[in-house]
Amino acid sequence: MKIHECQAKTILGHFGVPTPKGHVARTADEAEKVAADLTLPVAIKAQVHVGGRGKAGGIRLARRLDEVAPLARAILGMNIKGSVVRQVLVESGVDIRQEIYVGLIIDRASKHVVLMVSAAGGVEIEEVAAQTPEKILKVALKRHLGLTDYVARRAAYFLGLPPTATRSFVTIARGLYRAFVELDGSLAEINPLVVTGNGELIACDAKMNFDDNALGRHCEVAEMRDESEEEPLETDARHHKVSYVKLDGRIGCIVNGAGLAMATMDVVKHFGGAPANFLDIGGGAKAEQVVEALRIITADPNVNTILFNIFGGIVRCDRVAEGILLAQKKLDLKIPIVIRLSGTNEEIAREMLKDAGLIAMPTMSDACKKAVEMSQQ
Amino acid sequence: MSILVDQNTRLIIQGISGNEGQFHGGQMIAYGTNVVGGVVPGRGGETCLDRPVFNTVLEAREATQANASVVYVPAAFAADAALEAIDAGLALVVIITEGIPTLDMMTVYWEARHRGSAELAAGGTVVIGPNCPGAISPGKAKVGIMPGHIHRPGRIGVISRSGTLTYEIVNELTVNGLGQSTCIGIGGDPIVGTSFVDALERFATDDETDAVVLIGEIGGTDEEAAADYIKSSFRKPVVGFIAGLTAPPGKRMGHAGAIISGGKGTAAEKIAALESAGIPVAQRPDQIAGLVREALK
C-alpha cells in the first residue's frame, strides 16, 4: 500500500526524523492560512502517489505570501499521470547545500533489508543506479542485527557529510529503519535528505510503501489508505476479497489462482485478443464469489466477452457452474460467456451449463481461442 | 528416489483441527502420506483424523519421530508455527498459508538456514513456501493441497511459483504420458524458503528425474538466477514457462511476489534469460508436454 508524502513525513517525525514545518491544505485559502504561520519562502507540493511531480509542475515555491493561493489553486485539480491532485502540502522552504538519498528496500534475491545511500540525491535513484552506480552504497542488513550504528556511520562517511552531521545522520537512518521494520514497510525513502546551509539534516521528501500482508496489525497505517488514488473497480474488488487488476482490453477473465489467471491473459493475447483484466476468484471459488466477480467484470464498459478458466482439482466445478447460473439471473447478463471447467464434478457442471444454453470448452487453449473469436465479432 | 517428500516422510500437520488442516489432512492420508500427528496449541491429548494431537511441535516430534511438517495455520500465526518447527529440528517445513508478512518470512528464512537441528546437514531446515501448494512425489507422498489424482509417478520434475497453473501443466504432462518424480510449488511470495536454484540442485542429483519443467512468473529475479545456474551447472533438459507477459508494471497480480517494480521482473526478461541459457520456453501451457518430449530425445 502506498501513502502520501505528508503521511510518510508524519510517520517519520514520530521516529525522530526531522522534517520541514508545514501542513496539508485542500483549498487555496487553506494553503494561504498554513503559509501565514510559516517562514517564507514556502514550498507547495501536490500530494499524489505517482512520481515525477516536480517535472509535471506539481511542486512550486512561493516567495511571498500573496503567491501562495494562486500557486495552490493551479496545483489543486491538476492531473498528474492520471492522479488528480486533491491536496497540497505547504511547508517551509529549506536552505539547500547538498541533497542526498537514503532508502530501505527488501531485496528479494538476497533476502535482506538493504540500506541504500547516495550523495546524488534529489533525482530518482533508478536513474543514478543506471548511469552512475558507483555513487550508490548498498549494505545488506542482517535480520537479527538490524541497522547498527557502525553501518549508519559507514554510510555517513561514504556520503562525505560534514562531521557535525554524522551523528544526526545515524539518528535519521536508524529512525527510518525502525519505522520500516516496526510498521512492516516494503519501501522507505528520504529523497532528498537535505544538508542545510548551517550543516543540519532535514528530510525534504519522503516516501513509504507498506506490506499489504501486514496491514492487519497496523491499523494506524491501514487508515492512511487513499482510495481516491485507486482504480474504483479495484477498490470495489478488494472490499469483496477478489483479486482484480483492470486492463484496457475487451475480454473479461475470471480464473481461479493467480498464476493461471496470468497465463490465461497471456494465452488470450497469444491468440490475438486483449484481456480486460486480471481476476483471481481464489481457491474456494464458491457461488457468491463467482457472482461478485461477474458483477465487477461487467461494470467495465469495455468488456464484450467473458472468459471463465477454472482448473478445479479440488474445487467443485458444479459450485462454479451454480455461481455462473445464479449470476446470469441476478445480473441480467447480455455479454457472451465462454467457459472452461476442469476438475471435481466436471460432468455435472457441464450438464448444468448445457441446460442453461451455455457450453463448456474442454481445454484452456480452446476456450481462450473461442473467447477471442467472440470478442472480435 | 524423488526429492524432498517420499515414503520416509513422517509428517505432522500444524493446524490439523482447522477447516483447511482437516480437509487437506484427510486428502493427504487418503493419498497414502504417512501423517503421524498434528499440532494445535491447547488441544494436546485429543485426536484428529485418527491421529494424536500435541500442544507443541517438540512434543509431537519426540512422540512420533516426525521429520516434516506442513503448516495450515492462519497468516498472523503461521511464521511463528514455522519457527517452532525449525526449532524442533524438523528437516522439512512446508508452509501453505498465504498472507504472511514479508519481514516475518525473512526471519523464518534466516532461522531455517542458521539453526535447524544439529543432526541435519549444514543446510539446516528446508522450508518450502509460503503461499504454495506444497510438494508431491506421485505414488509416494503428497504434502500440501494439490489434487493428487492429476499426478502420475514418472521421471519429470516440476518446480513452480504457482498453484492452479501447476495443476494445469501437470495435468497436461500426465495426459501426455509424462509422469512426475516430484512437483514442488515454491510459492508466490517475494521471499520463499526454497528458490528455483535450490530445487534444481536437488533434481540434479536425483537419479529418478530425467528432465525438469520450470514454471515462473513476473516479479523478482529468481528465474534469471535459475537460468544462470542451468547454463553453468545443470546437466538435465529443462523446459520453461513464464506467466505474466500481459501484466502491467507496478501492479500486484494476485501473488504478493508477482509485481514488476522499477521496470524489473518482466516476463520478457525472464523468457530471454531462459532462452539464452538454451532452455525452450513454451508460449502456452499446452505446448509444454511436447517440448519436454523434444528435449528428452
Q: Work out the percent of chain A whose per-residue pLDDT is above 70.
A: 99
In this structure, are residues A200 and A167 in contact, taking their beta carbons and an 8 Å threshold?
Answer: no
Q: Work out the average pLDDT over B5-26.
A: 96
A269: nearest CA in chain B?
A: B246
Q: Does CATH number 3.90.480.20 belong to domain A21-93? A: no
Q: Work out the average pLDDT over A186-191.
A: 96
The grid coordinates of residue B107 equal: 526471519
Say if the Cβ atoms of B106 and A266 lie within 8 Å: no
Nearest to B4 by CA among B209, B182, B194: B182
In this structure, are residues A259 and A207 in contact, taking their beta carbons and an 8 Å threshold?
Answer: no
**Tens digit of pLDDT for each residue in A38-53?**
999 999 999 999 988 9
Residues B279 and B161 in one domain: yes
Instruction: Report pLDDT for B115.
Output: 66
> Final residue of a domain: which of B128, B157, B188?
B128
Confirm whether B114 is a catalytic residue: no
Instruction: Report pLDDT for A366.
Output: 96
B245 touches chain A (CB under 8 A): yes
pLDDT value at B285 more than 80: yes
- A227 to chain B nearest CA, in Å? 15
A285 touches chain B (CB under 8 A): no
Taking contacts as CB-CB distances below 8 angstroms, the residues of chain B near A261 are: 253-254
Burial bucket for residue B205 (CB in 10 Å: 0-12, 13-18, 19+): exposed
Instruction: Report pLDDT for B117.
Output: 46
**Domain extent listing, chain A:** 1-20+96-229, 21-93, 230-376
Residue A282 or B165, more confident:
B165
Residues B160 and B268 in one domain: yes
Residues B173 and B119 in one domain: no
Residues B237 and B150 in one domain: yes
Distant-in-sequence, close-in-space partners of A255: CB < 8 Å, separation ≥ 6: A261, A264, A279, A280, A281, A308, A309, A310, B164
Q: What span, in angstroms and rounded, lies between the C-alpha atoms of A157 and A364? A: 58
B112 touches chain A (CB under 8 A): no
Q: Work out the average pLDDT over B13-21.
A: 95
The beta strands (E) that lie in B151-273 are given as 153-160, 180-185, 211-217, 238-243
The two beta strands, B51-54 and B35-39, are parallel
Residue B261 or B145, more confident:
B145
CB atoms within 10 A of CB A95: 11
Does B163 fall in a domain?
yes
What is the band of A333 on the pLDDT scale with cuts at 50, 70, 90? confident
**Tens digit of pLDDT for each residue in A144-158?**
899 999 999 999 999
Q: What is the mean pLDDT of chain A?
A: 93
Say if the Cβ atoms of A259 and B161 lie within 8 Å: yes
Burial bucket for residue B263 (CB in 10 Å: 0-12, 13-18, 19+): exposed
Say if the Cβ atoms of A184 and B107 lie within 8 Å: no
Domain range spanning residue B247? 146-296
Mutate to test the interface with B, among A262, A307, A344 (most CBs of B within 10 A): A262
The beta strands (E) that lie in B63-197 are given as 68-71, 92-95, 126-128, 134-137, 141-144, 153-160, 180-185
Measure the CA angle with vertex A171, ends A165 and A176; round to 5°.
Answer: 120
Q: What span, in angstroms and rounded, lies between the C-alpha atoms of B36 and B66? A: 7
For the ranges A178-192, A345-359, B65-79, which has the lowest average pLDDT? A345-359
Q: What Cα–Cα distance (Å) separates residue A297 from each residue in A57, A118, A135, A317, B18? A: 36, 45, 47, 20, 33
Residues B155 and B289 in one domain: yes
Q: Provide the edge-to-edge strand list for the sheet that holds A277-280.
A: A243-246, A277-280, A251-255, A305-316, A337-344, A360-361
**Fold (CATH) for A1-20+96-229:** D-amino Acid Aminotransferase; Chain A, domain 1 (3.30.470)
The minimal CB distance from A263 to the residues B191, B256, B285 is found for B285
Q: What span, in angstroms and rounded, lies between the C-alpha atoms of A96 and A195? A: 6
Confirm whether A244 is a catalytic residue: no
What is the band of A288 on the pLDDT scale with cuts at 50, 70, 90? confident
**Fold (CATH) for A230-376:** Rossmann fold (3.40.50)
Measure the CA angle with vertex B223, ends B217 and B225; round to 5°.
Answer: 160
Residues B113 and B206 in one domain: no
Angular region, A332: left φ>0, alpha ψ -120 to 50, beta rest: left
Residues B109 and B158 in one domain: no
Say if the Cβ atoms of B27 and A181 lie within 8 Å: no
Instruction: Report pLDDT for A328.
Output: 83
- A296 to chain B nearest CA, in Å? 16
Nearest to B44 by CA among B27, B56, B33: B56
Helix B75-87 to helix B57-64 angle (10° resolution) is: 50
Burial bucket for residue A225 (CB in 10 Å: 0-12, 13-18, 19+): middle
What is the band of A192 on the pLDDT scale with cuts at 50, 70, 90? very high
Distant-in-sequence, close-in-space partners of A155: CB < 8 Å, separation ≥ 6: A102, A115, A117, A137, A139, A169, A173
Q: What Cα–Cα distance (Å) separates residue B297 from each residue in B205, B292, B294? A: 20, 9, 5
Q: Work out the average pLDDT over A108-116.
A: 96
A273: nearest CA in chain B?
A: B246
Model ipTM value = 0.95
**A352: part of which helix (H) or strand (E)?**
helix A346-355
Does B108 fall in a domain?
yes
Nearest to A374 by CA among A300, A290, A306: A306
Residues B49 and B80 in one domain: yes
Place of cell 496470468: A262
> Final residue of a domain: which of B66, B99, B128?
B128
Instruction: Report pLDDT for B123.
Output: 55
Q: What span, in angstroms and rounded, lies between the C-alpha atoms of B174 and B181? A: 12
What is the band of A284 on the pLDDT scale with cuts at 50, 70, 90? low
Q: What span, in angstroms and rounded, lies between the C-alpha atoms of A174 and A147? A: 6
Max CA separation in chain A (angstroms)? 80
Window 200-239 of A: residues touching B by CB (8 A cutoff) are 211-214, 216-217
B59 touches chain A (CB under 8 A): no
Q: Work out the average pLDDT over A168-196.
A: 97
**Tens digit of pLDDT for each residue in B195-245?**
999 999 999 999 999 999 999 999 999 999 999 999 999 999 999 999 999
Residues B104 and B173 in one domain: no
Instruction: Report pLDDT for B262.
Output: 80
Instruction: Report pLDDT for B67.
Output: 95
Angular region, A203: left φ>0, alpha ψ -120 to 50, beta rest: beta
Does B246 fall in a domain?
yes
A343 touches chain B (CB under 8 A): yes
Structurally, chain B folds into a number of domains equal to 2
> Final residue of a domain: which of B94, B128, B162?
B128
The domains spanning A21-93 and A230-376 adopt the same CATH topology: no
Q: Work out the average pLDDT over A101-128.
A: 93
